[in-house]
Amino acid sequence: MNKLTKIGVSALAGSLVAVSAHAGSLSASGSASISFADGDVDEVVVPTAGLTPEGNQWSMGDSITMTGSGDMDNGMSVSVSFEIDNDDVGGGNVYDSHSITLDTNGMGTLTFAGHGGDGAVSAIDDKTPNAYEESWDGVTDADEETVPNGLSADNMFTYKSADLGGTTITVGYVPSGVAGKTPKDGYMDFSVVNSNGLVDGLTVGLAMGESEETVGTTIDNTILYGTYTTGGLTLGVQKSEADGSTSATTVDFQAVGVAYAITDDFTVAYNQSVSDKGSATIDQEASGISASYTSGGVTVAGMINDVENVAFTDADDTEGYEFNISFAF
């Protein structure tokens, strides 16, 4: 090895030592819940078998998140998060979302999500206030191509700025893939959110970006929302738009919500939403009420939602309801 190479290696080693991480910490958090969910139809039609019972409406969900973090000598820090949760399809435990985050100590955070990444648009797909779930939740297919939700992907980068006088900027990016694979092209989205910077209690947000419709074609997503809180009352309104390459992939979505915290532990809410699909002759309309009560680490919550023209199907009107008890630790 020549002298120049030795100097280069020594300098590199010195720089690594300068930003080395101190011994980190590891913490765990999680939740477990029991739910009962049903609708206004007790039986479903199976073409080859006629009417068959829906089955057991009781279910259990659980999730454990492990978080490790460590500080570097330059003031930055690194954290790693792993989640294990219940597999809704297979009924087993799965290694779910996992990510690593660099906190730049004043210049924002940079996160790489190996699985379960959310872009700037998908993180705010519905910001109207509620006490439990959205107005269309609990009804099969009610969220199928009815709510623009932006970019969610594995192996995704997300940057979130530091607080800039009440404003934060988020940018999501998925690198391009190879021909025939998704995503074929790299995709990017961003959001700008201001909280309490204009008026006390007022939060406004704008998000824009692309997501992949099919390999090589895109959907342009736009979200604009605002919420206002005074005392225990929170009001919210949102307008979202997904512009695809055809009318079948173009959706306009509007939602309003009002939530009231009767006490610090008990909240009730009412929500409405309307989805307008370019290729459909009718709109999907949803409304619902929800409530939640928290005592320590235990939360009891429920909702009743009514959805008309589910997934833009004329006269397919369904009511869904759910009761949930969850324990957080």
Q: What domains are defined for the chain?
A: 37-328 (2.40.160.10)
- Residue 276 · residue 248 · CB < 8 Å: no
Bond prior to 183 in cis (omega within 30° of 0):
yes
| Two tokens, residue 259 | 């939530």
- Residue 219 · residue 249 · CB < 8 Å: yes
pLDDT of residue 216 exceeding 70, the answer is no
For residue 101, the surrounding DSSP H or E stretch is strand 93-103
DSSP state of 69: E
- Name the residue type at position 290: S
Q: For the segment 281-313, what is each residue's pLDDT rounded down to a tens digit?
A: 899 999 999 999 999 999 999 999 999 998 888
Phi (first) and psi of residue 177, to 5 degrees: -105, -155
- Residue 79 · residue 103 · CB < 8 Å: yes
- Residue 290 · residue 268 · CB < 8 Å: yes
Distance CA 210, CA 149 (A): 10
* CA R_g for the chain: 23
pTM as predicted: 0.81
- Residue 143 · residue 137 · CB < 8 Å: yes
Distance CA 270, CA 78 (A): 40
When pLDDT is cut at 50, 70 and 90, the band that residue 179 belongs to is: low
SS3 content of the chain, % helix, strand, coil (to 5): 10, 55, 35
pLDDT of residue 181 exceeding 60, the answer is no
Mean pLDDT of 269-290: 94
